[in-house]
A and B are shown apart, each in its own frame.
Chain A
Amino acid sequence: MSNKIIRIILLGSMILLGLTMVLPLWDIAIFAPQYPEGLSLQIWLSKISGDLNNINILNHYVGMKAISPSDIPELVYFPKLIMGILALGALALLWPHIISVGLYFLSFSAFSLFALYDFWKWEYDYGHNLSPDAPIKVPGMSYQPPLFGSETLLNISIYSYPAVGGWLMMVSFLAVAYILYVKARELWR
């Protein structure tokens, strides 16, 4: 594969990764009999949007902590990590060598794994650390939303799936992985 094509693919992956800074990554949708129109949360790299207040009001009945974006440091440092990964991507673009591509890939994978774990951890924390003063206590019940997929908690159905930014990030990641594979194969020969 020519360096030109490799560079185009690398540039494409960087553009897609860059777009995740301004697009929602994950969508959480909530439906209940009283919410026919649904409630939703969009998780972005740097913010949380959607019906945050209404979800917090519902959550307080079972003693869940209020989701408050100012208490989530990831919303500040995740965008910086993405910038760092993009810097390594730029290096690979200028010098498309297995070392630079490898660094780009490794940093991207490390971030992705950590981000997924971190997201799960927050969900676990919200779902399990319930206030002892909760007005409604259901023995044995926890309220952790799913990371990927759907679940029914009491009268509420929750759907959690990647949003457009999340899908773009995956495509970007696959593109980098492919280039790494191409480079590794070249080296093998």
Chain B
Amino acid sequence: MKINNKTMVTIGIGIGLAASMFACTPKKPSNSGGAAISKNAAEKVYVAPGKHDEFYAFLSGGFSGQLAVYGLPSGRLLRVIPVYSVNPENGYGFTEETKKMLNTSHGFVPWDDSHHPQLSLTDGKVDGRYAYINANNTPRIAKIDLKTFKTTEIIEVPNSGGNHGSPYLTENTEYLIASTRFSIPLPNKDVALDKMKEEVKGTISFIKFGKDEKMEVAFQLLVPGIDYDLASCGKGMSHGYCFLTSYNSEKASTLIEINASKNDKDLLAIVNWKKAEECVAAGKAKTVDGRHVHNELNESTHTVTSATIDKVKMLDVRDCEGALYYAPVAKSPHGADVDPSGQYIIAGGKLAAQITAYDFNKIVKAIQDKKFTGDYDGVKVLDYESVLAGEVKKPCLGPLHTEFDGKGNAYTSCFVSSEVVKWKLGTWEVVDRMPTYYSLGHIMIPGSGSKQPWGKYLLAMNKITKDRYLPVGPELPQSAQLIDISGEKMEMLLDFPTVGEPHYAVALEANLIKDKVKKIYTLEENKHPFVAKSEKEARVVREGNVVHVYGTAIRSHFMPDNIEGIKVGDTVYFHITNLEQDWDIAHGFSIIGANTSELLLMPGETNTFKWEPSKPGVYPFYCTDFCSALHQEMQGYIRVSAGGSSTPLKFNQGK
């Protein structure tokens, strides 16, 4: 090839262009980004060895199905409470006693997706009795007792196609509300999906915090079949109302991401639950099929019982004038968050760069003055301008969820632009912003959902971590970031990886509950049907092919620790009682080849391990929790003879 001048010029220009393009390549942002870390950040999160954190934070596990307890400000993981997923670590969902906690009308469900923890309220304030959390996939609500940090109750939500917007509490925990994310035909039936639009319905369930503080479905509201999202209930002046966002007013059933995003506005549901209560009391609700399961742990028998309820009360909103109104809301909103005063309801339009604030007083007035612009499936839609308190214009991209510090500030998480935006209630002006890493979902200020937030910290929960920590393969942890909000400017303090997806969280001041936490189960109060309260009561009883071992564990031996006369074909139940009455002295139990998890027994607790030996031989068992100096020696043997053999039943200890 002959190179002439023209070619040279062309090449020259080409190189020049390439070089200039290279020079123009944007600089990679540093990964502390705009989040300036102040010099004393470490001091602010340092909790000295042996000292306690100021807050208990309960972070949902998302797809782990559990609830993780962290201390703040240190970010130390204190405990993972098993809720909706089996937990071989302590036998939850494996032992005979706990299996039933995961019963549903679909049978045993070993997993779920837990999203929104909430704390029980009295007079709108966090009272430290219970935490609640929803199961997103197979609709359920769980109650966690904050004395034992154990799941003590799970109720299934009937007539629901997915329990995302749940559980939201009224200010005295009168009700926990749960709305259906996927609208489905109700009663559910075989319908062609392209004809489904005509059939779909939604429900908003009111779970009563009933007798002995137990959950029961008081009634369900039958509502238009759009997809309900997050919610919160009124407090103070707005007590008696709940507010729910929704999406898919198009009622699309396919390619939802496009087809549910067509309308410029979606709907905020405004539920007057006191009105609905009146209608139910007046007999306007119908009793309909609503098969659901209610499971509860009895703390004296250490055993879960499970009951099925067949019917529920269903109130069609069209039969109860004034129970439900809609207001237009910016496209595809997520949170509907009531501020501590109860006056403002904040909704972010995920797909509209706008945060909308509604004024409760204006809502009441608009309803009185009949300021309606039309109706949606028979439900009146309020005039947007008449209920609007203000709009935060262009705060960020993808405003998702708002929390409050109780000092007149609101903080909104923005998923798309991955930042927290601080703005003022009343003036609606943005005053500060803080980037988070990466893809921020929910944020949490301790006590934000109550009348009295502890406005000191904000926890940002991120979906993606990429390069934030040492890489651990394709599957990475998600993260939480702690931000100091006590000053004018937000200050990034700490970043820590989490268990599962920290979808949402709640927190409370540790002093509220830490001295009430249970240390042991009192042995005298143990009413387990197979308890052995002392070594003298330990024994082995055969009933046909079933053998019950009434066993005990105490430092550092089991009683009995030698058992003979078990035969292939037997089902052996080891009911082991931990005789210890000392704080944090646990014992564990397992046998070689067992097809289940270990037992992990807290002091004074009894739990049952099921074993079906398949071959004759001698089988060792041992304590699986490092209990004492002689833990290694805490072991025993079971002799298994062939089926039909005549080995006599024998058990002993130390002889």
Residues of B near A57 (CB, < 8 A) are 554-555, 580, 582
For the complex formed, measure the closest distance between the CB of A29 and the CB atoms of chain B, giving whole angstroms. 16
For the complex formed, measure the closest distance between the CB of A166 and the CB atoms of chain B, giving whole angstroms. 27
Residues of A near B630 (CB, < 8 A) are 61, 135
CB contacts under 8 Å to A, within B529-586, are: 554-556, 580-583
Please classify the interface of chain B as helix (H, G, I), strand (E, B), loop, or mixed, using the class held by over half of its residues: loop
New contact pairs (16) apart from A37-B583, A61-B630, CB-CB < 8 Å: A51-B582, A53-B581, A53-B582, A54-B581, A54-B582, A57-B554, A57-B555, A57-B580, A57-B582, A61-B628, A61-B629, A135-B556, A135-B629, A135-B630, A135-B633, A136-B629
CB contacts under 8 Å to B, within A137-182, are: none
Expressed in whole angstroms, the Cα–Cα distance for A81 and B583 within the complex equals 39
For the complex formed, measure the closest distance between the CB of B21 and the CB atoms of chain A, giving whole angstroms. 66
Residues of B near A61 (CB, < 8 A) are 628-630
CB contacts under 8 Å to A, within B138-171, are: none
Q: Which residues of B contact A (CB under 8 A)?
A: 554-556, 580-583, 628-630, 633
18 A-B pairs in the complex with CB atoms less than 8 angstroms apart: A37-B583, A51-B582, A53-B581, A53-B582, A54-B581, A54-B582, A57-B554, A57-B555, A57-B580, A57-B582, A61-B628, A61-B629, A61-B630, A135-B556, A135-B629, A135-B630, A135-B633, A136-B629
Residues of B near A54 (CB, < 8 A) are 581-582
For the complex formed, measure the closest distance between the CB of B97 and the CB atoms of chain A, giving whole angstroms. 24
For the complex formed, measure the closest distance between the CB of B631 and the CB atoms of chain A, giving whole angstroms. 12
Expressed in whole angstroms, the Cα–Cα distance for A85 and B590 within the complex equals 59
For the complex formed, measure the closest distance between the CB of B578 and the CB atoms of chain A, giving whole angstroms. 12
Expressed in whole angstroms, the Cα–Cα distance for A53 and B583 within the complex equals 13
Residues of B near A37 (CB, < 8 A) are 583
Q: Which residues of A contact B (CB under 8 A)?
A: 37, 51, 53-54, 57, 61, 135-136
Residues of A near B556 (CB, < 8 A) are 135
Expressed in whole angstroms, the Cα–Cα distance for A61 and B630 within the complex equals 9
Residues of A near B581 (CB, < 8 A) are 53-54
Expressed in whole angstroms, the Cα–Cα distance for A156 and B69 within the complex equals 33
Residues of A near B555 (CB, < 8 A) are 57
A51 to chain B: closest residue by CB:
B582
Residues of A near B554 (CB, < 8 A) are 57
B584 to chain A: closest residue by CB:
A34
For the complex formed, measure the closest distance between the CB of B51 and the CB atoms of chain A, giving whole angstroms. 13
Expressed in whole angstroms, the Cα–Cα distance for A54 and B581 within the complex equals 7
Expressed in whole angstroms, the Cα–Cα distance for A51 and B555 within the complex equals 15
Expressed in whole angstroms, the Cα–Cα distance for A175 and B85 within the complex equals 69
Residues of B near A51 (CB, < 8 A) are 582
Residues of B near A53 (CB, < 8 A) are 581-582
Residues of A near B633 (CB, < 8 A) are 135
Expressed in whole angstroms, the Cα–Cα distance for A189 and B366 within the complex equals 104
A36 to chain B: closest residue by CB:
B50
Quick one: which of B556, B582, B583, B630 has the most chain A CB within 10 A? B582
Expressed in whole angstroms, the Cα–Cα distance for A124 and B56 within the complex equals 48
Quick one: which of A37, A57, A135 has the most chain B CB within 10 A? A57
B603 to chain A: closest residue by CB:
A54
Expressed in whole angstroms, the Cα–Cα distance for A23 and B220 within the complex equals 60
Expressed in whole angstroms, the Cα–Cα distance for A133 and B630 within the complex equals 14
Expressed in whole angstroms, the Cα–Cα distance for A4 and B628 within the complex equals 62
Expressed in whole angstroms, the Cα–Cα distance for A135 and B628 within the complex equals 12
Expressed in whole angstroms, the Cα–Cα distance for A32 and B556 within the complex equals 19
For the complex formed, measure the closest distance between the CB of A143 and the CB atoms of chain B, giving whole angstroms. 16
Residues of B near A136 (CB, < 8 A) are 629
For the complex formed, measure the closest distance between the CB of A114 and the CB atoms of chain B, giving whole angstroms. 34
Expressed in whole angstroms, the Cα–Cα distance for A51 and B628 within the complex equals 18
- Identify the 8 closest CB pairs spanning chains A and B, nearest first: A54-B582, A57-B555, A135-B630, A53-B581, A61-B629, A54-B581, A57-B554, A136-B629
For the complex formed, measure the closest distance between the CB of A59 and the CB atoms of chain B, giving whole angstroms. 11
Expressed in whole angstroms, the Cα–Cα distance for A54 and B582 within the complex equals 7
For the complex formed, measure the closest distance between the CB of A17 and the CB atoms of chain B, giving whole angstroms. 34
For the complex formed, measure the closest distance between the CB of A138 and the CB atoms of chain B, giving whole angstroms. 13
For the complex formed, measure the closest distance between the CB of B247 and the CB atoms of chain A, giving whole angstroms. 53
B654 to chain A: closest residue by CB:
A133
For the complex formed, measure the closest distance between the CB of A6 and the CB atoms of chain B, giving whole angstroms. 50
B519 to chain A: closest residue by CB:
A37
Residues of A near B629 (CB, < 8 A) are 61, 135-136
A34 to chain B: closest residue by CB:
B584
For the complex formed, measure the closest distance between the CB of A38 and the CB atoms of chain B, giving whole angstroms. 12
Expressed in whole angstroms, the Cα–Cα distance for A135 and B556 within the complex equals 10
Expressed in whole angstroms, the Cα–Cα distance for A98 and B581 within the complex equals 53
For the complex formed, measure the closest distance between the CB of B527 and the CB atoms of chain A, giving whole angstroms. 20
A35 to chain B: closest residue by CB:
B582
For the complex formed, measure the closest distance between the CB of B222 and the CB atoms of chain A, giving whole angstroms. 55
Expressed in whole angstroms, the Cα–Cα distance for A53 and B523 within the complex equals 12
Expressed in whole angstroms, the Cα–Cα distance for A54 and B633 within the complex equals 20
Expressed in whole angstroms, the Cα–Cα distance for A54 and B604 within the complex equals 13
B580 to chain A: closest residue by CB:
A57
B628 to chain A: closest residue by CB:
A61
For the complex formed, measure the closest distance between the CB of A137 and the CB atoms of chain B, giving whole angstroms. 13
For the complex formed, measure the closest distance between the CB of A35 and the CB atoms of chain B, giving whole angstroms. 9
Expressed in whole angstroms, the Cα–Cα distance for A173 and B581 within the complex equals 39
Expressed in whole angstroms, the Cα–Cα distance for A53 and B580 within the complex equals 8
A136 to chain B: closest residue by CB:
B629
For the complex formed, measure the closest distance between the CB of A36 and the CB atoms of chain B, giving whole angstroms. 9
A37 to chain B: closest residue by CB:
B583
Expressed in whole angstroms, the Cα–Cα distance for A37 and B50 within the complex equals 13
For the complex formed, measure the closest distance between the CB of B555 and the CB atoms of chain A, giving whole angstroms. 5
Residues of A near B582 (CB, < 8 A) are 51, 53-54, 57
Expressed in whole angstroms, the Cα–Cα distance for A136 and B630 within the complex equals 10
Expressed in whole angstroms, the Cα–Cα distance for A135 and B580 within the complex equals 19
B556 to chain A: closest residue by CB:
A135
Expressed in whole angstroms, the Cα–Cα distance for A51 and B556 within the complex equals 18
Expressed in whole angstroms, the Cα–Cα distance for A37 and B520 within the complex equals 14
B554 to chain A: closest residue by CB:
A57
Expressed in whole angstroms, the Cα–Cα distance for A135 and B554 within the complex equals 15
Expressed in whole angstroms, the Cα–Cα distance for A53 and B582 within the complex equals 9
Expressed in whole angstroms, the Cα–Cα distance for A10 and B310 within the complex equals 77
For the complex formed, measure the closest distance between the CB of A131 and the CB atoms of chain B, giving whole angstroms. 12
A39 to chain B: closest residue by CB:
B582
Residues of B near A135 (CB, < 8 A) are 556, 629-630, 633
Residues of A near B580 (CB, < 8 A) are 57
For the complex formed, measure the closest distance between the CB of A130 and the CB atoms of chain B, giving whole angstroms. 16
A61 to chain B: closest residue by CB:
B629
